[in-house]
Structure 1
Amino acid sequence: MAKFGEGDKRWIVQDRTDGTNVHNWHWSETDCLEWSRNLLSKLLANLTLLDGEGNLFIRTKNIEKVEGEAYVNIRKGKIIPGYELSVALSWEGEAKDADGKSLLKVDGSVDIPYISDENADEDPEIRVTVRDDGPIGRRLKEAMLAKGKPVIEEKVRVYVQTMAQGGPAKDELEAKKVAPKAQSTTAGKKDSGAAAATAPVVEKKVKETNRKGFKSISLTEKFSCRAKDLYEILMDENRWKGFTQSNAKISKEVGGEFAIFDGSVTGNNVELQAGKLIVQKWRFGSWPDGMISTVKLVLDEPEPGVTIVKLTHTDIPEEDRYGNATVVENTERGWRDLIFHKIRAVFGFGI
Structure 2
Amino acid sequence: MAKYGEGDKRWIVEERPDGTNVHNWHWSERDCLEWSRSLLSSLLSGITVLDGEGGLVIRTKTVDKLEGEAYVNVRKGKVIPGYELSLSLSWEGEARSSADGEALLKISGTLEVPYLADENAGEDPEVRITVRDDDGPIGRRIKDAFIAKGKPIIFEKIRAYVQAMAKGGPAKDELEAKKPTSAAKAAALDAKTALTPSAPAKKEKKVKEGFKNITLTERFNCRASDLYEILMDENRWKGFTQSNARISKEVGGEFSLFDGSITGVNEELKEGKLIVQKWRFGSWPDGINSIVKLSLDEQEAGVTVVKLTQTNVPEEDKYGNATVVENTERGWRELIFHKIRAVFGFGM
The 3-state SS of whatever aligns with 1:289 is coil
Distance 1:257 1:216 in 2: 23
Corresponding residue for 1:47?
none
Residue 292 and residue 23 in structure 1: after superposition, are their counterparts in 2 closer, same or farther (change >3 A)?
Answer: closer
Contact 1:269 1:281 in 2 (8 A): yes
Residue 270 and residue 169 in structure 1: after superposition, are their counterparts in 2 closer, same or farther (change >3 A)?
Answer: farther
Taking structure 2 as the reference length, the TM-score comes to: 0.55
- Once the 2 structures are TM-superposed, how far is the Cα of residue 35 of structure 1 from its aligned partner? 4.9
The 3-state SS of whatever aligns with 1:114 is strand
Contact 1:222 1:309 in 2 (8 A): yes
Distance 2:332 2:158 in 1: 18
45, 70, 83: which one pairs with 1:72? 70
Corresponding residue for 1:185?
none
Corresponding residue for 1:236?
233
Say whether residues 1:250 and 2:247 are aligned partners.
yes
Higher relative contact order (CA 8 A, sep 6+): 2
- Once the 2 structures are TM-superposed, how far is the Cα of residue 345 of structure 1 from its aligned partner? 1.4
AA of the residue aligned to 2:88: S
Contact 2:86 2:112 in 1 (8 A): no
Rg comparison, structure with higher value: 2
Residue 301 and residue 319 in structure 1: after superposition, are their counterparts in 2 closer, same or farther (change >3 A)?
Answer: same
Say whether residues 1:290 and 2:294 are aligned partners.
no
Corresponding residue for 2:112?
113
The range that moved more, 321-330 or 65-74, is: 65-74
Distance 2:311 2:320 in 1: 20
Q: Any residues of structure 2 matched to 1:110-259 within 5 Å, and which?
A: 112-116=111-115, 124=126, 126-127=128-129, 168=169, 210-259=207-256
- Once the 2 structures are TM-superposed, how far is the Cα of residue 344 of structure 1 from its aligned partner? 1.0
Corresponding residue for 1:59?
none
How many residues are treated as equivalent by the alignment? 255
The 3-state SS of whatever aligns with 2:317 is coil
AA of the residue aligned to 1:72: A
Contact 2:244 2:258 in 1 (8 A): yes
The 3-state SS of whatever aligns with 2:312 is strand
- Once the 2 structures are TM-superposed, how far is the Cα of residue 72 of structure 1 from its aligned partner? 1.0
- Once the 2 structures are TM-superposed, how far is the Cα of residue 228 of structure 1 from its aligned partner? 0.7
Residue 116 and residue 212 in structure 1: after superposition, are their counterparts in 2 closer, same or farther (change >3 A)?
Answer: closer
Structure 1 residue runs without a partner (length 5+): 1-15, 41-61, 90-109, 176-207
Q: Any residues of structure 2 matched to 1:306-345 within 5 Å, and which?
A: 306-345=303-342
The 3-state SS of whatever aligns with 1:243 is helix
Distance 2:331 2:156 in 1: 19
Corresponding residue for 1:299?
296
Contact 2:292 2:310 in 1 (8 A): yes
Distance 1:213 1:331 in 2: 15
Taking structure 1 as the reference length, the TM-score comes to: 0.55
Contact 2:166 2:320 in 1 (8 A): no
Contact 1:218 1:311 in 2 (8 A): yes
Corresponding residue for 2:36?
32
Distance 1:37 1:270 in 2: 47
Cα deviations across residues 144-188 of structure 1 (Å, max 9, x unaligned)? 99xxx9x99x9999999989989737979999xxxxxxxxxxxxx
Contact 1:209 1:315 in 2 (8 A): no
- Once the 2 structures are TM-superposed, how far is the Cα of residue 33 of structure 1 from its aligned partner? 3.6
Corresponding residue for 1:85?
87
Structure 2 residue runs without a partner (length 5+): 1-14, 45-57, 92-108, 132-136, 177-204
AA of the residue aligned to 1:114: V
Distance 1:82 1:349 in 2: 33
AA of the residue aligned to 1:168: G
Distance 1:157 1:261 in 2: 23
The 3-state SS of whatever aligns with 2:214 is strand
Corresponding residue for 2:11?
none
Distance 1:159 1:329 in 2: 24
Contact 1:81 1:163 in 2 (8 A): no
